[in-house]
């Protein structure tokens, strides 16, 4: 299978599909650091640059079997201003459709945040525009919201997958489209497995199974550790720092057990909301890896048993299913071991989860085999 990956980031598609023997004929990325990651990891695969310039790319009908990409989500996310198709970033959805019209690949895979389902006026108009655009270009489609914590060998889609589900809650919309007569049936066969159509879903993962400890070294559960705020709790907005406690803070009338508390006990993975120091947990899985990790953004887990700290870039890569230090590259004249953390966090947060992409690729391969060999 020859595929073209656009809005590539640090390229989950190639990592996921290399074991299937699939080959990327090209990539598309414009951000400087992800471009450097692509050049370092895939030196023989061309990066065609901006998706808006697809007309100049040296590709034509017959060069690509599958087009994949997750166009920018910021304009659709409920965490943003939700400009939708009025935002230039959101309009890349339309460029993606036009690229599909130019190349006419048999398969399309598109990913975005769940907020795209309700973006636009009336509610959901932007997503409807995308789906209608697929139909107008000759594709039948199916879509599904998949959560990375359940997709893989340890998750609800275990059959046929050799990849572990990552211990991260990460819900994303995936659209699979297939060109030609019966395309919608082929697309549905990829995303909707028979047991789910018959109302026999796989059993839910048991509580505590496949926790964030599975992400590797650094996620260590142990005896509960006491923490205290280094400043007294004063309000719901003070951005206070948690430190290991030899003794508790003085009890006072601000300690109501909510956002103003000065005490915490941590022995597992918790979630720290940076804007007000709230702690929630313990969690079975890590919160969604976000591009703002490492910059003071929210959803930064607290990790026991030794200290309260952020996830490291390597841990974020593991939570997305990448090999360790995938984004640790030579950068701005400095060696890889001096690569800054900030752009690595952003790369991880903007990526797709590798096991989810691997599972979808396996399902496409399975459907392709059945189409080419109807008796099997």
**CA dist., res. 136 & res. 61, Å (int):** 17
Domain parsing of the chain, residue ranges: 2-209+351-372, 219-311
- How would residue 363 be classed by pLDDT, with cut points 50, 70 and 90? very high
pLDDT for the residue 375: 63
The two three-digit tokens of residue 25, written as one number: 């004929």
Pick the most confident of 143-157, 226-240, 321-335. 321-335
- How would residue 275 be classed by pLDDT, with cut points 50, 70 and 90? low
Beta bridge partners of 272: 279, 300
Q: Is the pLDDT of residue 247 over 80?
A: no
pLDDT above 70 covers a percentage of the chain that reads 63
pLDDT for the residue 211: 36
Residue 17: Cβ within 10 Å count = 25
pLDDT tens profile 337-351: 999 998 998 899 889
**CA dist., res. 21 & res. 175, Å (int):** 22
Beta bridge partners of 108: 67, 177
pLDDT for the residue 115: 86
pLDDT tens profile 95-127: 999 999 999 999 999 999 888 888 877 888 888
Beta strands in 63-106 (DSSP E): 66-69
**CA dist., res. 151 & res. 164, Å (int):** 8
Residue 188 vs residues 70, 166, 196, 213, 249: alpha-carbon distances, Å = 19, 24, 11, 34, 57
In 3-state terms, what secondary structure has residue 297? coil
Which active-site residues does the annotation give? Answer: 73
- Give the pTM: 0.75
CATH topology classification for 2-209+351-372: Rossmann fold (3.40.50)
**Bridging pattern class, strands 107-112 and 278-280:** unpaired
pLDDT tens profile 277-287: 666 766 777 77
pLDDT tens profile 79-91: 556 566 666 666 7
């Amino acid at each position: 299978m020859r595929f073209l990956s656009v809005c590539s980031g640090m390229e989950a598609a190639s990592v996921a599909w290399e074991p299937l023997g699939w080959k990327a004929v090209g990539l598309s990325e414009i951000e400087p650091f992800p471009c450097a990651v692509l050049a370092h990891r895939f030196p023989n695969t061309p990066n065609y640059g901006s998706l808006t310039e697809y007309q100049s790319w040296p590709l034509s009908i017959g060069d690509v079997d599958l087009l994949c990409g997750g166009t920018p989500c910021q304009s659709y996310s409920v965490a943003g201003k939700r400009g939708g198709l009025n935002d230039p970033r959101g309009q890349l959805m339309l460029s993606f459709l036009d690229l599909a019209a130019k190349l006419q690949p048999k398969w399309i895979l598109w990913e975005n945040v769940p907020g795209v389902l309700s973006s636009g006026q009336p509610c959901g108009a932007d997503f409807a525009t995308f789906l209608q655009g697929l139909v107008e270009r000759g594709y039948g489609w199916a879509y599904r919201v998949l959560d990375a914590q359940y997709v893989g060998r340890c998750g609800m889609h275990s059959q046929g997958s050799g990849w572990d589900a990552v211990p991260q809650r990460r819900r994303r919309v995936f659209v699979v489209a297939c060109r030609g007569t019966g395309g919608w049936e082929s697309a549905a066969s990829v995303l909707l497995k028979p047991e789910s159509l018959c109302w026999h879903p796989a059993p839910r993962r048991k509580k505590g199974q496949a926790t964030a400890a599975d992400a590797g070294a650094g996620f260590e559960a142990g005896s509960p550790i006491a923490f205290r705020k280094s400043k007294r709790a004063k309000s719901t907005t003070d951005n206070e720092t948690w430190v290991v406690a030899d003794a508790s803070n003085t009890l006072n009338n601000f300690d109501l057990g909510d956002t103003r508390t000065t005490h915490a006990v941590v022995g597992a993975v918790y979630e720290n909301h940076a804007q007000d120091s709230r702690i929630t947990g313990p969690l079975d899985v890590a919160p969604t890896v976000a591009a703002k990790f490492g910059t003071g953004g929210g959803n930064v887990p607290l990790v026991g048993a030794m200290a309260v700290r952020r996830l490291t870039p390597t841990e974020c890569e593991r939570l997305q299913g990448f090999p360790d230090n995938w984004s640790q590259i030579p950068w701005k004249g400095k060696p890889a071991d001096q690569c800054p953390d900030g752009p690595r966090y952003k790369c991880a947060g903007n990526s797709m989860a590798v096991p989810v992409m691997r599972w979808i690729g396996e399902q496409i391969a399975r459907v392709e085999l059945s189409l080419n060999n109807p008796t099997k």
